[in-house]
Amino acid sequence: MINPDNSIHIVAKITPKPEFFEQGLAALSALIQPTRAESGCFRFEVFADKHCSQYVLVEHFRNQSALDSHYAQPYTKRVFALYDEILAKAPEITILTPVDETPQSGGLSSRYERGVVNLKRIDGRAGEEVVEDLRQVSESLANYVVEFPFGDIYNRRQIDLRAREIATIAMLAAIGDTEEQLTVHIHAGLNVGLSLAEIEEILIQTAVYAGFPRAINAMKVFAGIKSVITQET
Protein backbone atom coordinates (compact mmCIF):
# COMPACT_ATOMS: atom_id res chain seq x y z
CA MET A 1 0.00 0.00 0.00
CA ILE A 2 1.54 3.32 -1.05
CA ASN A 3 0.74 6.35 1.10
CA PRO A 4 -3.06 5.92 1.21
CA ASP A 5 -3.68 9.10 3.21
CA ASN A 6 -1.79 11.48 0.85
CA SER A 7 0.38 12.73 3.69
CA ILE A 8 3.70 14.31 2.74
CA HIS A 9 7.09 13.16 4.01
CA ILE A 10 10.02 15.52 3.41
CA VAL A 11 13.75 15.35 4.01
CA ALA A 12 15.46 18.71 3.49
CA LYS A 13 19.25 19.12 3.50
CA ILE A 14 20.28 22.70 4.16
CA THR A 15 23.88 23.88 3.86
CA PRO A 16 24.73 27.26 5.44
CA LYS A 17 27.97 29.12 4.97
CA PRO A 18 30.24 27.98 7.84
CA GLU A 19 30.34 31.42 9.42
CA PHE A 20 26.53 31.45 9.64
CA PHE A 21 26.11 27.94 11.05
CA GLU A 22 25.08 28.96 14.59
CA GLN A 23 22.79 31.75 13.38
CA GLY A 24 20.98 29.38 11.06
CA LEU A 25 20.69 26.69 13.72
CA ALA A 26 19.14 29.18 16.16
CA ALA A 27 16.61 30.23 13.53
CA LEU A 28 15.62 26.63 12.76
CA SER A 29 15.45 25.75 16.46
CA ALA A 30 12.95 28.58 16.97
CA LEU A 31 10.84 27.02 14.21
CA ILE A 32 10.40 23.66 15.95
CA GLN A 33 7.73 24.31 18.59
CA PRO A 34 5.34 26.49 16.54
CA THR A 35 5.59 24.07 13.61
CA ARG A 36 4.84 21.05 15.81
CA ALA A 37 1.81 22.89 17.19
CA GLU A 38 0.29 23.21 13.70
CA SER A 39 -2.72 20.93 13.34
CA GLY A 40 -1.45 19.57 10.02
CA CYS A 41 2.05 18.73 11.24
CA PHE A 42 2.71 15.11 12.23
CA ARG A 43 6.48 15.42 12.61
CA PHE A 44 9.13 18.14 12.46
CA GLU A 45 12.69 17.32 13.48
CA VAL A 46 15.88 19.34 13.00
CA PHE A 47 19.30 17.64 12.97
CA ALA A 48 22.64 19.43 12.74
CA ASP A 49 26.13 18.39 11.66
CA LYS A 50 28.57 21.18 12.40
CA HIS A 51 31.50 19.24 10.93
CA CYS A 52 29.79 19.19 7.51
CA SER A 53 28.03 22.52 8.06
CA GLN A 54 24.64 21.04 7.30
CA TYR A 55 21.16 20.79 8.78
CA VAL A 56 18.73 17.99 7.98
CA LEU A 57 15.00 18.56 8.45
CA VAL A 58 12.67 15.56 8.65
CA GLU A 59 9.07 16.59 8.16
CA HIS A 60 5.67 14.92 7.87
CA PHE A 61 2.53 16.90 7.05
CA ARG A 62 -1.06 15.74 6.73
CA ASN A 63 -1.43 16.86 3.10
CA GLN A 64 -0.38 19.56 0.63
CA SER A 65 -2.78 22.07 2.17
CA ALA A 66 -1.16 21.60 5.59
CA LEU A 67 2.30 22.05 4.05
CA ASP A 68 1.18 25.20 2.22
CA SER A 69 -0.22 26.54 5.49
CA HIS A 70 3.13 25.89 7.19
CA TYR A 71 4.98 27.77 4.44
CA ALA A 72 2.59 30.72 4.85
CA GLN A 73 3.25 31.15 8.58
CA PRO A 74 5.23 34.30 9.59
CA TYR A 75 7.83 32.26 11.49
CA THR A 76 8.47 30.08 8.43
CA LYS A 77 8.73 33.10 6.15
CA ARG A 78 11.32 34.66 8.47
CA VAL A 79 13.54 31.58 8.16
CA PHE A 80 13.13 31.48 4.38
CA ALA A 81 14.13 35.16 4.19
CA LEU A 82 17.24 34.39 6.22
CA TYR A 83 18.22 31.65 3.76
CA ASP A 84 19.04 34.27 1.12
CA GLU A 85 21.81 35.59 3.34
CA ILE A 86 23.27 32.53 5.05
CA LEU A 87 23.02 29.56 2.67
CA ALA A 88 26.00 28.31 0.69
CA LYS A 89 23.71 26.65 -1.89
CA ALA A 90 20.03 25.98 -2.52
CA PRO A 91 18.33 23.51 -0.14
CA GLU A 92 18.09 19.91 -1.32
CA ILE A 93 14.44 18.86 -0.90
CA THR A 94 13.35 15.24 -1.22
CA ILE A 95 9.69 14.20 -1.12
CA LEU A 96 9.38 10.61 0.12
CA THR A 97 6.49 8.21 -0.37
CA PRO A 98 6.00 5.41 2.19
CA VAL A 99 5.84 2.09 0.38
CA ASP A 100 4.37 0.06 3.24
CA GLU A 101 3.25 1.49 6.57
CA THR A 102 2.14 -1.90 7.95
CA PRO A 103 3.97 -2.60 11.24
CA GLN A 104 6.42 -5.50 11.19
CA SER A 105 5.36 -8.44 13.32
CA GLY A 106 7.05 -8.41 16.69
CA GLY A 107 7.85 -4.72 16.37
CA LEU A 108 6.18 -1.68 17.85
CA SER A 109 2.63 -1.08 16.65
CA SER A 110 1.94 1.99 14.53
CA ARG A 111 -0.30 3.23 17.35
CA TYR A 112 2.60 3.06 19.77
CA GLU A 113 5.01 4.75 17.38
CA ARG A 114 2.53 7.57 16.72
CA GLY A 115 1.97 7.83 20.45
CA VAL A 116 5.67 8.21 21.22
CA VAL A 117 6.03 10.97 18.61
CA ASN A 118 2.97 12.84 19.93
CA LEU A 119 3.98 12.38 23.56
CA LYS A 120 7.38 13.98 22.92
CA ARG A 121 5.84 16.71 20.80
CA ILE A 122 3.10 17.65 23.28
CA ASP A 123 4.29 16.81 26.79
CA GLY A 124 8.04 16.87 26.21
CA ARG A 125 10.38 15.29 28.73
CA ALA A 126 7.84 15.56 31.57
CA GLY A 127 5.45 13.24 29.76
CA GLU A 128 8.19 10.76 28.95
CA GLU A 129 9.19 10.63 32.62
CA VAL A 130 5.61 9.83 33.68
CA VAL A 131 5.49 6.91 31.24
CA GLU A 132 8.96 5.69 32.25
CA ASP A 133 7.96 5.71 35.93
CA LEU A 134 4.73 3.87 35.14
CA ARG A 135 6.65 1.30 33.09
CA GLN A 136 8.55 0.27 36.23
CA VAL A 137 5.21 -0.82 37.70
CA SER A 138 3.28 -2.03 34.65
CA GLU A 139 4.68 -2.35 31.14
CA SER A 140 1.22 -2.99 29.71
CA LEU A 141 -0.42 0.05 31.31
CA ALA A 142 2.47 2.28 30.18
CA ASN A 143 1.95 1.05 26.60
CA TYR A 144 -1.80 1.75 26.83
CA VAL A 145 -1.11 5.29 28.02
CA VAL A 146 1.06 5.89 24.96
CA GLU A 147 -1.14 4.07 22.43
CA PHE A 148 -4.67 5.20 23.25
CA PRO A 149 -4.50 8.90 24.21
CA PHE A 150 -1.40 9.84 22.21
CA GLY A 151 -1.46 7.28 19.40
CA ASP A 152 -5.21 7.51 18.74
CA ILE A 153 -6.97 10.51 20.30
CA TYR A 154 -4.25 13.16 19.99
CA ASN A 155 -3.68 12.00 16.42
CA ARG A 156 -7.19 13.01 15.35
CA ARG A 157 -7.23 16.23 13.31
CA GLN A 158 -10.73 17.58 13.91
CA ILE A 159 -9.39 20.05 16.52
CA ASP A 160 -5.85 21.30 17.01
CA LEU A 161 -3.48 20.62 19.89
CA ARG A 162 -4.23 23.95 21.61
CA ALA A 163 -7.91 23.03 21.82
CA ARG A 164 -7.10 19.56 23.12
CA GLU A 165 -4.85 20.94 25.86
CA ILE A 166 -7.46 23.53 26.88
CA ALA A 167 -9.95 20.67 27.32
CA THR A 168 -7.42 18.48 29.12
CA ILE A 169 -6.33 21.16 31.58
CA ALA A 170 -9.93 22.03 32.37
CA MET A 171 -10.93 18.38 32.90
CA LEU A 172 -7.95 17.60 35.11
CA ALA A 173 -8.70 20.67 37.22
CA ALA A 174 -12.36 19.65 37.49
CA ILE A 175 -11.59 16.02 38.44
CA GLY A 176 -9.25 17.06 41.25
CA ASP A 177 -6.45 15.05 42.90
CA THR A 178 -4.53 15.16 39.61
CA GLU A 179 -1.59 17.38 40.53
CA GLU A 180 1.00 15.29 38.68
CA GLN A 181 -1.05 15.04 35.49
CA LEU A 182 -2.09 18.69 35.68
CA THR A 183 1.55 19.75 35.98
CA VAL A 184 2.45 17.76 32.85
CA HIS A 185 -0.44 19.19 30.86
CA ILE A 186 0.08 22.79 31.91
CA HIS A 187 3.58 22.43 30.48
CA ALA A 188 2.07 20.72 27.44
CA GLY A 189 -0.30 23.66 26.97
CA LEU A 190 2.67 26.00 26.95
CA ASN A 191 4.44 23.71 24.46
CA VAL A 192 1.57 23.91 21.97
CA GLY A 193 1.10 27.66 22.18
CA LEU A 194 -1.05 28.51 25.20
CA SER A 195 0.07 31.49 27.25
CA LEU A 196 0.26 31.66 31.04
CA ALA A 197 -2.61 34.14 31.00
CA GLU A 198 -4.79 31.78 28.95
CA ILE A 199 -4.11 28.84 31.27
CA GLU A 200 -4.96 30.97 34.31
CA GLU A 201 -8.25 31.92 32.63
CA ILE A 202 -9.05 28.25 31.94
CA LEU A 203 -8.64 27.46 35.64
CA ILE A 204 -10.81 30.43 36.66
CA GLN A 205 -13.52 29.11 34.31
CA THR A 206 -13.51 25.73 36.09
CA ALA A 207 -14.66 27.39 39.30
CA VAL A 208 -18.06 28.01 37.69
CA TYR A 209 -18.82 24.36 36.90
CA ALA A 210 -16.47 22.33 39.10
CA GLY A 211 -16.50 24.51 42.21
CA PHE A 212 -14.03 26.79 43.94
CA PRO A 213 -12.09 24.07 45.85
CA ARG A 214 -11.12 22.33 42.60
CA ALA A 215 -10.23 25.62 40.90
CA ILE A 216 -8.18 26.82 43.87
CA ASN A 217 -6.20 23.58 44.11
CA ALA A 218 -5.50 23.65 40.38
CA MET A 219 -4.49 27.29 40.60
CA LYS A 220 -1.91 26.39 43.27
CA VAL A 221 -0.32 23.91 40.85
CA PHE A 222 -0.33 26.56 38.15
CA ALA A 223 1.14 29.18 40.51
CA GLY A 224 4.13 26.95 41.23
CA ILE A 225 4.82 26.46 37.52
CA LYS A 226 4.36 30.15 36.78
CA SER A 227 6.77 31.11 39.57
CA VAL A 228 9.51 28.88 38.14
CA ILE A 229 8.98 30.19 34.60
CA THR A 230 8.98 33.80 35.79
CA GLN A 231 12.24 33.30 37.71
CA GLU A 232 13.89 31.69 34.67
CA THR A 233 12.95 34.60 32.44
187-219 pLDDT, tens digit per residue, is 999 988 899 999 999 999 999 999 999 999 999
Query: How far is 144 from 149, CA to CA, in rounded Å?
Result: 8
Number of domains in the chain: 2
Query: By the 8 A CB rule, do 183 and 125 touch?
Result: no
Tell which residue, 201, 170, 206, has the closest CA to residue 185: 170
Same-domain check for residues 227 and 138: yes
Give CA 92 to chain center in angstroms.
25
Examine residue 174 and state whether it is found in any structural domain, yes or no.
yes
47: Cβ–Cβ under 8 A, 6 or more apart, which residues?
55, 56, 57, 58
Same-domain check for residues 91 and 129: no
- Pick out the chain residues at pLDDT < 70: 1-5, 98-109
pLDDT in tens, 159-170: 888 899 999 999
Tell which residue, 1, 7, 10, has the closest CA to residue 101: 1
User: What pLDDT, on the 0 to 100 scale, is given for residue 105?
Assistant: 38
Same-domain check for residues 136 and 177: yes
| Amino acid in the structure at residue 197 | A
Q: What is the domain extent for residue 82? A: 8-96
